């Protein structure tokens, strides 16, 4: 009977597609949608979610690129396996291959330092600083002047905020600059690896199952946050103590059933839900198809130059995986846009907005702003098209390093507060890490083959897209003579010293004169390109400044228009904390096919081939065969649920987000979207957008039955 | 509410997997399973299905490799689009591209002759001739003698049967030789193309969707059978008249709903449901993996030698499609065997059979026979392994032609009745067609590249697998020196005359002496290999003869054992008429995923990219957008059903089978199985085996709304 309900709710979905829950709301928007939150099933007071320093939001933290949550008063942090995998890899050796075997610290003393640069950010305070940021603006300013004024205001706010040592502050724009917020976050720098199941659990299905449902990935792992004995942020040190979070999440062993209320809090990276038609068309008709060609060529070049089994291939595995991942995403984007008729729907939306604006003369200002915004967008798209192949032609890693080093020397001639973001003192830790990291992923032959491929496409472009300074410095003529150019590039790689890490690090202290007299070919090229780069940056800042006049007006129109229809317009994702809510829900990705909302342990048995990425641990297979579900069985599916689907609204950056039930207890971790959801970055299609979560019952089952992580099970508060 | 029922029956399936209907029954077995047939929903008297000359079986015919049905008294025949596509291609020109545009004869005068060799076989009579075939056998005979005795008896029966001109007879073995039947079929040689929708309907989804659900393929088309004015079988002639079938099927416009009774009658080609464990292991652990490697190498060789866009590629498209199809099938077989644990299940079955045998001393004979059968199977497998690479090394098309021509000359020295099957006078029409056909699919460079690739793998084998006569004739030493061998092969292609069709056809009349003095390199090689080939054939026939003692005993044990449990053991498929029955039924191919039983018109809209193979006609897309369902909507799915799933038991050769409802009305055409069903040739897994059909409502909708085939709609008897 339960089962019948399970499927009948899928059915309702098929019948009433508008069921799914679009919206990545900022916490302060929640009171506006309190009624729907309660109607959907939230049992907490919606207002409680708006306080980022209270339960449950106080427990939700950022890893920078991923989301995580505190699950014990001793600073235990749960997030996705794929968010901590770099740290597992960093600590792995041939003798102790934690990727293959998993890692579990049975005591705190056994914990390992996370990979360099790992951070935990605890949001402490969010203030609306729109007035401060925009105070110095006036209508007569050029785009460039506006950009500078806003930039200066933001830097000044950040500086004041970060005067409180151990904190990291930011001033992100919302609604394209309609609103600015100052976000103050505690920066925890001593992050340690506590527990990560083996790849055969945490990365089960690997790249093949990436974005795929049905899914059986145990994408969870644990860090622990450490601070100095006085409670302040500190680098790794033996005497550091576990951080005591203000709030933690209880972990549910009861979990969810089909149709239950669910919400997730996390840091989604970027969406384009309000992009104008022209931006959509430029992206889907030009940019994405160009990227597809680029990715296909790039992948083929790496595969040919770094054959399987070679040392070079090992260094490029991660880049290849990234390029393939992006390519798969592009295919999904393009296919999704076709399926939902993105262009047609955007046209319709803009027509409706135009009608609403035209209905009231006081809205005429919106119309002007939108017209000008479209002109500006077209200008930006043109610049993007013109620069696309030049940008590719300057991708070689050592050229990138040279350009950043030269820029650093130039920025250092200014006072810190005037320096470009990314080159201030507060950025130097990450800058140095960037300079150090290159060697692990660099092979001169592959880098050169990539460059040659990029140059070939660059040189096939019309004259208007060629950059004279670049052509002159590299001695590029009208035609691409592969042999000649290849020989020329060889001299770059044979003569450069930048492939050496210590050389690069030392050059972080060099002044402009030193770098300008460098005979290193990549540094000379960086110098030759500098003026061009700066000019392009100037133009970009000017467009950006002009956009801060127009886009806020466009977004205000959207907000007012939506409000007139009874909706709350949420801002596009910008890596700040958001809340999405909805229900556990299967779906129908295409005619004739239905996704069930849960997968089961038995699905692992059926998928398992014994070969990576479908090589579950033997012990796990035996436990499943024996039907040893422990306390974690979901009766309606007759097994332990492994992963589940919801209609939540998520994107990259949401990885690791706490998935909570109506009471704010942890019931899972958000870790992926289905392939049919990829296009939701542009247009949320309620019929097909589904988010994938790992179920806490599976997490607890693995911890108890497979990995014996009793210490962590005892440390967390597990509820039913 | 209907929808709820629809899905709840899928649900029942998930809960009770043993629901699906294994069994390809011979019509004479139906009375034995009459009770279950009625219980499942058949409204006709099961006995009526046993009479092949009565309704409805009298309407079901064979195209040789495909199945079809008569649907009008004027000899109108309906079958799959993919079964008539060769005839559409044969009649297509640049000006009249019927593949692209479809073909519809508005009157009989407009019909076009089908491709050469097209036949329609109407089964007239089936007699059990086991006694006659086995009359001359005695226990002392060698395997070779048994083989010859059986072969002679079969040839004699066929000769007598075919004395009735215009008929084609055969004596297939059932249950591995436990039973022989003489089947007499009218051979209709004047076959004409009446109507085939465009590829964009009939082949919608192409190779990408092959074996895939959800499916939206309009895999249907029409032939018409013609005979001489006196009603006898005749070659194409203008004065021929439409054949009047004894029975025809009514076409249902009401169709089926989820869970409804359904049956299909057709000519399934071959299954191995009763293969012994050793045969299974040899196949899945050695043969199929070897084929995978072979196919992958082969495909890569053709793709490299016949690059896309080349003339050679056009000639090899069909072979490439075939190899890729086989490779996809192999992947499905191997994956399916792993998923159902084929080896484990077969072990269990054999242990159960052994137990049953051991329970009664009178069954001891079975045990001995089975032991000996397993020894013989192992011997056959060893021979197969030893010959695998040699067989590949003799695959070049012109060598094949030379070998067949030389064999023909040799066979012609015997009286017709003593000749090897395939070389008798009755075979000469097809022999000639085979000799003619080569040129359309032959390119010397590609053929040579294939040969070189085959030789490379052959020469890498141990000495025991090398064939001295072959090595000597080709001058092959111990090592593979690509340049030397490549140069040698070049001389074969430069010197041979066998690439010329007329030369090959002329050589059909040459005697042995002429061929033995030929200087053609391929003919010389054929001559050099002849003795080896004959020796291998002798050994094979001997094993075959020995098998006819043992396998019938094994099958008798299976039959008796099954009977003791209340089941009727059906024989493995052997291209004879079979009936399978069950229900319209979705499925769950894997954990977390559900197949709905029907696809809808709207699915075409969602799939359509505008590019082959997802390029539905514009008019069709408009009709769908307009929701113009006509009289063909299935209320429970809210649209016109395109394809549907059943739990019927089918395999290659079933294509085009009449899918009938409980009253014997045509409700669809069987045309494929799902990817998860591929392995059912070895082991029917009721959880995942599903057969795919095109729905008559979609056929009628296309005919009425899209192609305006009113003449055919009027000609058929359409019922509701």
Of the candidates A7, A590, A599, the beta carbon closest to that of B8 is on A7
Residues of B with CB under 8 A from a CB of A: 3-4, 7-8, 10-11, 14-15, 213-216, 338-339, 590-596, 598-600, 602-603, 606-607, 609, 643
Residue B648, Cβ density class (10 Å: 0-12 exposed, 13-18 middle, ≥19 buried): buried
Distance of CA B621 to the CA centre of its chain: 33
Cβ B595–A598 below 8 Å, yes or no? Answer: no
Cβ A603–B594 below 8 Å, yes or no? Answer: no
- Range name among A19-33, A81-95, A280-294 with the lowest pLDDT average: A19-33
The domain made up of A7-124+189-272+572-719 is a member of CATH 2.40.10.120? yes
Cβ B595–A593 below 8 Å, yes or no? Answer: yes
Interface size, chain A vs chain B, as Cβ–Cβ contacts under 8 Å: 86
Cβ A599–B607 below 8 Å, yes or no? Answer: no
Contacts of residue A496, Cβ cutoff 8 Å, sequence gap at least 6: A398, A520, A521, A522
Tell me, what's the pLDDT at A553? 98
Q: How far apart are CA A78 and CA A643, in angstroms?
A: 16
| Substitution target from A591, A599, A639 for chain B, most B beta carbons within 10 A | A591
Q: How far is A335 from chain B (nearest CA, A)?
A: 8
| Residue B540 is among the residues annotated as catalytic for this protein | no
> What ipTM was assigned to the predicted interfaces of this complex?
0.86
Tell me, what's the pLDDT at B687? 87
Q: Which residues of chain B, if any, have pLDDT below 70?
A: 1-20
| Residue B655 is among the residues annotated as catalytic for this protein | yes
Instruction: Give pLDDT tens digits for B540-595.
Output: 999 999 999 999 999 999 999 999 999 999 999 999 999 999 999 999 999 999 99
With a cut of 90, say whether residue A357 has pLDDT above it.
yes
What residues pair up with A125 in beta bridges, in sequence order? Answer: A184
Main-chain phi, psi angles of B304, to 5 degrees: -75, -35
Measured at the CA of B89, the angle between CA B87 and CA B93, to 5 degrees, comes to: 125
> Which residues belong to CATH 2.40.10.120 in chain A?
7-124+189-272+572-719
Q: How far is A339 from chain B (nearest CA, A)?
A: 6
| Residue A655 is among the residues annotated as catalytic for this protein | yes
Structure tokens at A720: 């039913």
Query: What three-state secondary structure class fits B598?
Result: strand
Residues of A with CB under 8 A from a CB of B: 3-4, 7-8, 10-11, 14-15, 213-216, 338-339, 590-596, 598-600, 602-603, 606-607, 609, 643
Cβ A603–B592 below 8 Å, yes or no? Answer: yes
For residues B578 and B4, is the Cβ–Cβ distance under 8 A? Answer: no
Q: How far is A344 from chain B (nearest CA, A)?
A: 15
Burial A572-591 (b: 16+ CB within 10 A, else e): bbbbbbbbbbbbbbbbbbeb
Residue A565, Cβ density class (10 Å: 0-12 exposed, 13-18 middle, ≥19 buried): exposed
Tell me, what's the pLDDT at B14? 35
Residue B206, Cβ density class (10 Å: 0-12 exposed, 13-18 middle, ≥19 buried): middle
Q: How far is B434 from chain A (nearest CA, A)?
A: 42
Main-chain phi, psi angles of B68, to 5 degrees: -150, 175
pTM of the predicted protein model: 0.90
Cβ A594–B591 below 8 Å, yes or no? Answer: no
Cβ A593–B598 below 8 Å, yes or no? Answer: no
- Find the catalytic residue in A81, A82, A175, A693: A82
Tell me, what's the pLDDT at A58? 92
Instruction: Give pLDDT tens digits for A491-514.
Output: 999 999 999 999 999 999 999 999
Of the candidates A592, A603, A643, the beta carbon closest to that of B595 is on A592
Tell me, what's the pLDDT at A94? 87
Tell me, what's the pLDDT at A52? 85
Alpha helix (H) ranges present in B270-396?
Answer: 277-281, 288-305, 311-340, 342-358, 364-393
Tell me, what's the pLDDT at A440? 82
Q: How far is CA B4 from CA A14, A564, B20, in A?
A: 11, 37, 21
Distance of CA A339 to the CA centre of its chain: 25
DSSP string, A631-693: T--BGGGTB-EEEEEE-----TT-TTPEEE-TTS-EEEEEEEE-GGGGGGGT---TTT--EEE
With a cut of 50, say whether residue A7 has pLDDT above it.
no
Tell me, what's the pLDDT at B424? 97
Res. A91 pLDDT band, cuts 50 70 90: very high
For residues B257 and B662, is the Cβ–Cβ distance under 8 A? Answer: no
For residues A270 and A574, is the Cβ–Cβ distance under 8 A? Answer: yes
Cβ B603–A609 below 8 Å, yes or no? Answer: no
Q: How far is B470 from chain A (nearest CA, A)?
A: 37
Supply the Cα-derived Rg of chain B in whole angstroms.
26
Distance of CA B373 to the CA centre of its chain: 27
Main-chain phi, psi angles of B236, to 5 degrees: -50, 130
Structure tokens at B486: 């490549």
Q: Collect all residues of chain B within an 8 Å Cβ-Cβ radius of residue A215.
A: 592
Contacts of residue A118, Cβ cutoff 8 Å, sequence gap at least 6: A63, A86, A87, A191, A223
Q: How far is A332 from chain B (nearest CA, A)?
A: 13
Tell me, what's the pLDDT at B318? 87
Res. A20 pLDDT band, cuts 50 70 90: low
Residue B625, Cβ density class (10 Å: 0-12 exposed, 13-18 middle, ≥19 buried): exposed
Structure tokens at B696: 């008559």
Report, as an integer, the average pLDDT of A671-684.
Answer: 94
Report, as an integer, the average pLDDT of A4-14.
Answer: 34
Tell me, what's the pLDDT at B20? 56
Report, as an integer, the average pLDDT of A229-249.
Answer: 97
Alpha-carbon torsion angle A562, A568, A573, A579, nearest 10: -160
Handedness of CA B2, B5, B10, B13 (dihedral sign): negative
| Substitution target from B591, B606, B607, B611 for chain A, most A beta carbons within 10 A | B591
Cβ A596–B600 below 8 Å, yes or no? Answer: no
What residues pair up with B670 in beta bridges, in sequence order? Answer: B693
Cβ B592–A214 below 8 Å, yes or no? Answer: yes
Q: How far is CA B72 from CA B59, B249, B396, in A?
A: 10, 7, 45
Share of chain A above pLDDT 90, in %: 93
| Substitution target from A592, A605, A607, A688 for chain B, most B beta carbons within 10 A | A592
Structure tokens at A310: 């070679």
């Amino acid at each position: 009977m339960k089962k019948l309900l399970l499927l009948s709710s899928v059915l309702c979905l098929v019948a009433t597609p508008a069921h799914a829950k679009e919206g990545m709301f900022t916490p302060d928007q929640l009171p506006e949608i309190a009624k729907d939150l309660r109607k959907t099933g939230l049992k907490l007071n919606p207002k409680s979610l708006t306080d980022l320093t209270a339960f449950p939001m106080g427990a939700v933290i950022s890893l920078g690129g991923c989301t995580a949550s505190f699950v014990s008063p001793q600073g235990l942090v749960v997030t996705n396996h794929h968010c901590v995998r770099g740290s597992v890899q960093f600590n792995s050796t041939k003798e102790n291959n934690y990727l293959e075997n998993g890692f579990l610290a049975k005591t705190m003393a056994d914990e390992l330092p996370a990979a360099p640069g790992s951070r935990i950010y605890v949001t402490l305070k969010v203030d609306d600083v729109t007035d401060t940021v925009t105070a110095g603006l006036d209508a007569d300013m050029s785009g460039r002047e506006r950009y500078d004024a806003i930039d200066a205001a933001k830097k000044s706010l950040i500086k004041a905020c970060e005067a409180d040592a151990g904190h990291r502050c930011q001033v992100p724009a919302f609604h394209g600059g309609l609103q600015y917020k100052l976000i103050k976050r505690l920066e925890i720098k001593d992050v340690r690896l506590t527990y990560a199941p083996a790849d055969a659990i945490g990365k089960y299905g690997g790249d093949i199952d990436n974005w795929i449902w049905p899914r059986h990935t145990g994408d969870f792992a644990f860090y622990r946050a450490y601070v100095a004995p006085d409670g302040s942020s500190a680098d790794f040190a033996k005497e550091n103590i576990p951080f005591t979070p203000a709030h933690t999440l209880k972990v549910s062993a009861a979990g969810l059933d089909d149709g239950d209320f669910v919400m997730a809090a996390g840091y989604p990276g970027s969406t384009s839900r309000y992009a104008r038609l022209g931006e959509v068309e430029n992206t889907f008709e030009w940019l994405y198809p160009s990227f597809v060609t680029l990715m296909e060529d790039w992948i083929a070049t790496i595969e040919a130059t770094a054959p399987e089994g070679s040392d070079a291939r090992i260094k490029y595995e991660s880049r290849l995986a990234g390029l393939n991942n992006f390519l798969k995403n592009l295919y999904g984007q393009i296919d999704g846009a076709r399926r939902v008729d993105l262009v047609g729907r955007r046209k319709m939306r803009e027509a409706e907005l135009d009608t609403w604006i035209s209905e009231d003369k006081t809205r005429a200002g919106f119309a002007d702003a939108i017209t000008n915004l479209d002109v500006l967008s077209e200008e930006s798209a043109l610049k993007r098209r013109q620069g696309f192949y030049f940008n590719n032609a300057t991708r070689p890693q050592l050229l990138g390093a040279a350009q950043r080093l030269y820029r650093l020397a130039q920025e250092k001639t200014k006072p810190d507060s005037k320096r470009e973001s990314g080159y201030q003192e507060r950025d130097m830790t990450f800058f140095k890490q960037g300079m150090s990291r290159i060697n692990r992923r660099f092979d001169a032959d592959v880098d050169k083959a990539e460059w040659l491929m990029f140059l070939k496409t660059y040189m096939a472009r019309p004259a208007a897209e060629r950059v004279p300074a670049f052509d002159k410095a590299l001695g590029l003529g009208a035609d691409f003579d592969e042999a000649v150019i290849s020989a020329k590039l060889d001299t770059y790689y044979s003569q450069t010293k930048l492939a050496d890490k210590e050389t690069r690090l030392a050059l972080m202290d060099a002044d402009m004169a030193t770098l300008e007299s460098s005979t290193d070919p990549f540094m000379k090229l960086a110098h030759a390109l500098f003026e061009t780069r700066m000019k392009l940056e100037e133009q970009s800042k000017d467009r950006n400044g002009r956009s801060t006049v127009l886009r806020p007006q466009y977004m205000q129109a959207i907000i007012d228009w939506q409000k007139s229809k009874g909706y709350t317009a949420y801002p596009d994702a910008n890596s700040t904390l958001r809340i999405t809510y909805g229900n556990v829900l299967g779906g129908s990705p295409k005619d004739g096919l239905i996704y069930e909302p849960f997968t089961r342990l038995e699905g692992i048995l059926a998928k398992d081939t014994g070969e990576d990425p479908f090589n579950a641990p033997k012990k796990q297979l035996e436990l499943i065969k024996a039907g040893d579900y422990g306390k974690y069985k979901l009766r309606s599916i007759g097994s332990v649920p492994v992963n589940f689907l919801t209609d939540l609204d998520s994107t990259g950056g949401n990885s690791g987000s706490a998935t909570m039930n109506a009471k704010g207890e942890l019931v899972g971790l958000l870790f992926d979207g289905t392939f049919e959801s990829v296009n939701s970055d542009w247009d949320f299609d309620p019929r097909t957008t589904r988010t994938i979560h790992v179920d806490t019952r599976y997490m607890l089952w693995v911890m108890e039955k497979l990995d014996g992580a009793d210490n962590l099970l005892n440390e967390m508060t597990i509820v039913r």
